[in-house]
Amino acid sequence: MQKMAKAPKTVDEYLAGVPEPAHTTLNKLRATIRAAAPKEATEAISYGMPSFRYKGGPLVYYAAFAEHCSFFPASVAVMQQFANELKAYPTSKGTIRYPQDKPLPAALVKKMVQARVAQIESKGSKKKR
């Protein structure tokens, strides 16, 4: 991905600067996340990349890079929970990399977003005790 002249302030600005095929791939990922996330989840730019936030904290992040796209579930536990389904993708502690022209499977993204929501919800219920 080319460096933008100035840092994007919105997700739409970020995506407008992403060339094809990553642009289409990230738009599909964004729609999948939005469908799986609670209605209260909001979009923002965080760490220079698009993110969804929920209950005051990060839900997930995603981004385009020169050679790949990445999905960041914002949780090592969620990455470990889906380790078998992620075997086909290069991963590191907090990121899943995939080709710019091949989105992650929507069903997998939805499950990971839902697992992340459940994790956030459980943390919230523990604070109330």
Rounded Cα distance between 31 and 11, Å, is: 12
Rounded Cα distance between 3 and 82, Å, is: 32
Structurally, the chain folds into a number of domains equal to: 1
Eight-state DSSP code of residue 10? S
Q: Is residue 41, in this structure, part of any structural domain at all?
A: yes
Q: Are 33 and 52 in contact (CB under 8 A)?
A: yes
If you search the block for the tokens 């060339």, which residue do you land on? 19
| Residue numbers of the domain that contains 70 | 11-128
Q: Is residue 4, in this structure, part of any structural domain at all?
A: no
pLDDT in tens, 65-79: 999 999 999 999 999
pLDDT in tens, 81-112: 999 999 999 999 899 999 999 999 999 999 99
- CATH at residue 110: 3.90.1150.200
Three-state DSSP state, 35: helix
pLDDT in tens, 32-60: 999 999 999 999 999 999 999 999 999 99
Q: Are 27 and 62 in contact (CB under 8 A)?
A: no
